[in-house]
């Protein structure tokens, strides 16, 4: 497994030049100390996580409390697709939500699987994307990332704030699962909010070292 280093500079560079943004992206590494929970939507999201995590994510979609949802593909994915630097083959987007990144990545040379623990999220993703021209090159599955066993490994895994949405107790399991799902020469691309000095989550505290 190797990092997608050829399309960007080292993490330390990114962290030192990151600009704090409102909402879930408030970053202590960027010099800010604002708890993402100060965003009313994030605060409401945390209120939904009073028991089982899977139930919390299902409720977030049921009540429309999805502050991470950009309503479009992640800008860096659009850039990388245009640049042609992403690996072809099979790609996985865990915690895909509405699936915008799944659709953006999918093409004749790249089949993409969008995974989410929320049945409602997967239903919504299928509803809006089923008639798109590239619909033959992606699929959406309601599965638990940690328990799911695909028929093949992946050439690319794209994690958009999935890692930092997980309880920190699951981080070792996240690494083991990524290692299991990714081909030995595959590429892992992650976008993780660098936040610290906050209480609770999601999202949870993250540092460059972690």
pLDDT at 4: 42
Residue 12 confidence (pLDDT): 32
Predicted local confidence at residue 35, as pLDDT: 65
Could you tell me the end-to-end alpha-carbon distance of the chain, in angstroms, rounded to an integer?
17
**pLDDT score recorded for residue 136:** 98
pLDDT value for 184: 95
pLDDT at position 11, please? 33
pLDDT of residue 34: 60
Q: Which residues of 61-84 are buried (b: 16+ CB within 10 A; e: fewer)?
A: beeebbbbeeeebbeebeebbeee
Average pLDDT per block of 10 residues along the chain, 210 residues long: 39 32 38 62 74 78 80 94 96 96 98 95 96 97 96 96 88 95 96 74 77
Gap between the Cα atoms of 141 and 143, Å rounded = 6
Residue 33, pLDDT score: 53
Domain boundaries, the chain: 66-146+153-209
* Res 17: pLDDT: 30
**What fold, for 66-146+153-209?**
Rossmann fold (3.40.50)
Q: For position 21, what pLDDT does the model report? A: 35
CA distance 111 to 69: 22
Distances (CA, A) of 204 to 80, 101, 153, 167: 27, 22, 28, 7
Can you give the length of the chain in residues? 210
* DSSP code per residue over 86-136: S--EEEEEET-TT-HHHHHH-BTTEEEEEEES-HHHHHHHHHHHTTSTTGG
pLDDT of residue 130: 94
What's the predicted TM-score (pTM) here?
Answer: 0.79
Q: What is the pLDDT of residue 196?
A: 72
């Amino acid at each position: 497994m190797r990092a997608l280093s050829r399309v960007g500079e080292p993490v330390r560079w990114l962290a030192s030049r990151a600009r704090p943004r409102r909402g879930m992206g408030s970053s202590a590494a960027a010099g800010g100390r604002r708890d993402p929970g100060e965003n009313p939507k994030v605060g409401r999201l945390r209120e939904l996580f009073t028991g089982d995590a899977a139930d919390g994510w299902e409720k977030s979609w049921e009540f429309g409390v999805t502050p991470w949802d950009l309503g479009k593909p992640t800008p860096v994915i659009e850039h990388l697709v245009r640049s042609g630097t992403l690996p072809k083959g099979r790609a996985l987007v865990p915690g895909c939500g509405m699936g915008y990144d799944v659709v953006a990545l999918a093409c004749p040379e790249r089949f993409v699987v969008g995974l989410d623990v929320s049945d409602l999220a997967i239903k919504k993703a299928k509803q809006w994307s089923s008639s798109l021209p590239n619909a033959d090159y992606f699929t959406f599955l309601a599965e638990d990332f940690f328990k799911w066993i695909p028929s093949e490994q992946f050439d690319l895994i794209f994690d958009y704030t999935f890692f930092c949405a997980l309880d920190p107790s699951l981080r070792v399991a996240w690494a083991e699962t990524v290692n299991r799902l990714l081909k030995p020469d595959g590429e892992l691309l992650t976008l993780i909010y660098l936040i610290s000095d906050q209480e609770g989550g999601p999202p949870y505290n993250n540092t460059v070292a972690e």
